Structure 1
Amino acid sequence: MSTSESMAPGDGKDWLKTAARAGYAARGLVFLIVGYFSFRAAFASGEAMDTKDAIEVIAGSGFGAVLLAAMVLALAAFAIWRLIQVVMDVDDHGNGAKGLFVRFGLLISAFSYGGLAVYATTLLIGSASGGEEGGSSGKSGAIAYAYEQGYGVWLTYLIAAGMAAAAIAHLVKAAKAGFEKYMALPEDRRWLLKPICQFGLSARALTFIVLAVLLASGAAGYQSGDTPGLDAALQEISGWSFGWAFLSLTGLGLIAFGVYSITEAVYRRIEMPDVSNVG
C-alpha cells in the first residue's frame, strides 16, 4: 500500500492502530510493575502482586489520576483490539482447530484486560473500596456469581484448563519465536530483543501453569468464587524449595514480558480491517 493510500481521508485504521499500540504499551507497564515487585519480594519482606495491584501502584503515583485515565483508555483499546483479532481474524489464524484455539485465547485476553480497564475506572472515579479488598472483589465477581448458581466448580475447572492451554501456547511461541511472524524487529536490535521476548513468554507460561494447578486443586473448596490470581501463583512459587531463586527469576521474566509487550507496541505489524465503510 502506498503512503498516499495509507493516509487517505476517511480511513479509520490509523487511530485503531494507535489505540492498539497504546494497549500493548499499557500491558507492558503493568507487567513491568508486577515483575519488579515480584523480584523485590524474593529478597525483601514485600509481597508479590497481581495486575490489579499494579494498577493501584499507578493510582498512588504522583500523577495518579492522569496515568489512570491513560491506562483506562489504553487497556480498553487493547481489549477492543483483541476482539478485532478474534472476530475479524486479522492475523489469519483461520477456522481450523489450532486457529480457533488461538482465537479463543485472544477472547479470554479481551475479557481479562477489559476487566482490568473497568477496575482502573473504579479507582479513577473513587468508587473502589480500596486496598486488597477492592482488588479481590473485582477479581472474583463473575466467578462468585457462578458459585452462587451452583456451577462455579466446573467454571473454575474450565478456567484452569484455559490457563494450562495458555501456558502451552506461550511456551510454543517462546520456543519457536513465533512472535517474530507478527513483528518487524530491526536487525541491529533483534539479537537482544528476541531472547528477552522468549524469556518473558516462558515466565508468563510458568505463572499460567502454577495458576492452573492452584485452580484445579482448590476448585471444590472455594467460597464465593474467591479464586487465586497472579499474586497467589507468585506466592506459591516463593514457597518452593529455593523459592526465592524461582521467584526472583520469575520476576525478571515478568519484567521481560513487559518489555515484550512494549516491543509489540513499537514493532508489531498491526493489520486492521477496513472500517471506512462501517455504519
Structure 2
Amino acid sequence: MPQHPAPPESRRDDPAENSARGFAWAVPLMRAGYAGRGLVYLLVGGASLWSIWHGGSAEGTGEAMGRLQGALGTAILLLIALGMAAYAIWRAVDSIWDLEDYGNSPKGLIARAGMITTGLVHLGLSGLAITVLLGRSEGLGKTELVNRLLASPGGQAAAGIAGALTLGAGGYYLHKAWSEGYRDHMQGNPATLHLNLVLKAGMAAHGVVIAIIGFLMMQAAAYASSHEAGGIGTAFNWLQDKTYGQILVTFLCIGLLGFSLVCFVNAAWCIVPKADDRGLQTLKDMLNS
C-alpha cells in the first residue's frame, strides 16, 4: 500500500494552526449568533416600514416582536431567542480568548470589553423574545429599567457612563463604516465584493441608531428622567420629532434592513482569525489586490 507522507513539522507544530483547530467549535456559534441578529434587524426595519407605509410610526424591538403571530411567528421568535443567546456566548468567548485577534493593547482591550457589553445587550434581547413567546411582554421596556437605575444609589452616574459608552459604540460603528473596517474579517468573494456599498450603508445606519440611544441615555442621566431613554423605538420617536423626521426615520429603517444584511453576510462569510483557515482571503485583501 502506498505510504502517505507525514505532515511537515513546521505545519504540525504551527501554533496558529493548532489554535484554529482548538477553536473551530466557536465558528458555528458565531454564525448562528449573526443570523439571529440579522433576524432582529430585519424584523424591526421591516415592521417599521410596514407601519409607516400604513400611516403609523416606526416600532421598537419589543413592538416588532409582538406583531409575530401564529406558528410562523413562534418559530421566528424561537430562532431569535436562540440566535441572540448564541451571539451573547460568542461575544464572551471572543473577548476572553481574543479570537478576532485584537490584542492586549489599550485599544484592543477596550474593543474586547465592548464585546462583553454587546453580548449582555443581546442576551437581554434573547430574554425579550422569550417573554414575548410566553405572552408576558406587557410592562417590559428599557425605559422602566432606566427608571430603576436612576433611582438606585449612584444610578445617575452609572446611567451617564452607560450612555457615554453607548454613544462611543455608535461612533465606532460609524468609523467602521467610513473606514470600511468590516472588510478586515469578512471573506472576499464576488457576493461580498458587490455588496460592499450596501454593507457600508447598513453599518452607518446601525451606528446612527446606537449613537442616538447613547445620547438619550446621557440626557436622561443629566436630567434624572428616563422620559426619553430607551432602545430603538425611543430613538425612532426622538428622530420623528425633528424637521423632516418621517423621512429621516424611513431612511434609517431602510438602513437597518441594510444592517440586517451585514449580519447575514457575516453569518455566511465572517472570518475568525484564531478559529478559521488562515489561508482565507479577506474582502480587504481582495479589494486591495
Partner of 2:215, secondary structure, is helix
Q: Identity, % of aligned pairs?
A: 25
Distance (Å, rounded) in 1 between the aligned partners of 2:178 and 2:167: 17
Question: Which ranges of 4 or more aligned residues in structure 1 deviate by more than 4 Å?
Answer: 11-15, 140-145, 271-274
With a CA cutoff of 8 Å and minimum separation of 6, indicate the structure with the bigger relative contact order.
Answer: 1
Q: 1:17–1:272: 8 Å Cα contact kept in structure 2?
A: no
Write the mapping of 1:67-216 to structure 2, written as runs, cut at 5 A.
67-124=76-133, 126=134, 128-131=135-138, 133-134=139-140, 136=141, 139=142, 143-186=146-189, 188-216=190-218
Distance (Å, rounded) in 1 between the aligned partners of 2:46 and 2:267: 20
Write the mapping of 1:226-241 to structure 2, written as runs, cut at 5 A.
227-241=229-243
Residue 176 of structure 1 aligns with an amino acid whose one-letter code is S
Distance (Å, rounded) in 2 between the aligned partners of 1:98 and 1:269: 21
1:80-127 per-residue CA deviation (whole Å, 9 max, x = no partner) reads: 001011111111111212112211221111000111112222333x2x
Q: Which moved more, 1:246-255 or 1:98-107?
A: 98-107
Distance (Å, rounded) in 1 between the aligned partners of 2:31 and 2:50: 29
Aligned length: 258
Q: 2:164–2:215: 8 Å Cα contact kept in structure 1?
A: no
Question: Aligned in 2, Cα 1:245/1:34: closer, same or farther, shift over 3 Å?
Answer: same
Partner of 2:195, secondary structure, is helix
Q: Mark the structure with the bigger radius of gyration.
A: 2
Q: 1:38–1:234: 8 Å Cα contact kept in structure 2?
A: no
Question: Aligned in 2, Cα 1:96/1:14: closer, same or farther, shift over 3 Å?
Answer: closer
Question: Aligned in 2, Cα 1:53/1:104: closer, same or farther, shift over 3 Å?
Answer: farther
Q: 1:143–1:155: 8 Å Cα contact kept in structure 2?
A: no
Which residue of 2 is the match for residue 35 of structure 1?
A: 45
Partner of 1:202, secondary structure, is helix
Question: Aligned in 2, Cα 1:148/1:226: closer, same or farther, shift over 3 Å?
Answer: farther
Write the mapping of 1:46-65 to structure 2, written as runs, cut at 5 A.
46-58=56-68, 60-65=69-74
Partner of 1:90, secondary structure, is coil
Distance (Å, rounded) in 2 between the aligned partners of 1:210 and 1:61: 33
Q: Which moved more, 1:211-220 or 1:143-152?
A: 143-152
Distance (Å, rounded) in 2 between the aligned partners of 1:141 and 1:87: 31
Distance (Å, rounded) in 1 between the aligned partners of 2:132 and 2:246: 32
Note the aligned Cα RMSD (angstroms): 2.6
Residue 118 of structure 2 aligns with an amino acid whose one-letter code is S
Structure 2: segments with no counterpart, 5+ residues:
1-10, 13-20, 277-289
Structure 1: segments with no counterpart, 5+ residues:
3-10, 275-279
The TM-score, its normalising length taken from structure 1, stands at 0.82
Picking from 261, 265, 270, the partner of 1:259 is: 261
Distance (Å, rounded) in 1 between the aligned partners of 2:208 and 2:151: 31
Distance (Å, rounded) in 2 between the aligned partners of 1:106 and 1:254: 20
The TM-score, its normalising length taken from structure 2, stands at 0.80
1:6-32 per-residue CA deviation (whole Å, 9 max, x = no partner) reads: xxxxx7755532222111011101101
